[in-house]
Homo-oligomer: A and B are copies of this chain.
Amino acid sequence: MGQYRTHVFVCTSGDTCPAQGEVEQFVKTLRAEALRANLKTEVRINKAGCFSQCGHGPMIVVYPDDVWYAGVQEADLKEIVESHILGGKPVERLVYNPGVKGPNKTPDAH
């Protein structure tokens, strides 16, 4: 029933979330990457509010995969698009592990 293969939401508020200008840039970059990959109709990028995961921002969530990213920086966006959205392989070093403060640098293999 979904309208998009991949629907990406960027958080826009919270203590560690990006400032409004940065969010705009995140969205712009993600959309440009999706466009460049010819995924404009398959992928949608939206801003959203606070995800209530304070201390882990800037955060991005990719649905319907339900993959969460924490501590995302502008330089990571291209990799998220290429590896995850295009390639289907989440960027493990950025995947949010709620038991760990900050991005999960050493993903649990279990």
Protomer copies? 2
A93-110 at interface with B (beta carbon < 8 Å)? 95-98
The answer to whether B46 touches A51, judged by C-beta atoms less than 8 angstroms apart, is: yes
Q: Considering the chains assembled together, what is the distance between the CA atoms of A36 and B98 in angstroms?
A: 25
Range of interface residues on chain A? 20 to 34
Contacts of A48 in B (CB 8 A): 9, 46-49
Q: Considering the chains assembled together, what is the distance between the CA atoms of A78 and B84 in angstroms?
A: 35
Contacts of A49 in B (CB 8 A): 46-48
Given contacts A3-B98, A46-B9, A53-B3, contact A66 B68 (CB under 8 A): no
Q: Which 6 A-B pairs have the closest CB atoms?
A: A2-B66, A63-B63, A64-B66, A46-B48, A46-B49, A48-B48
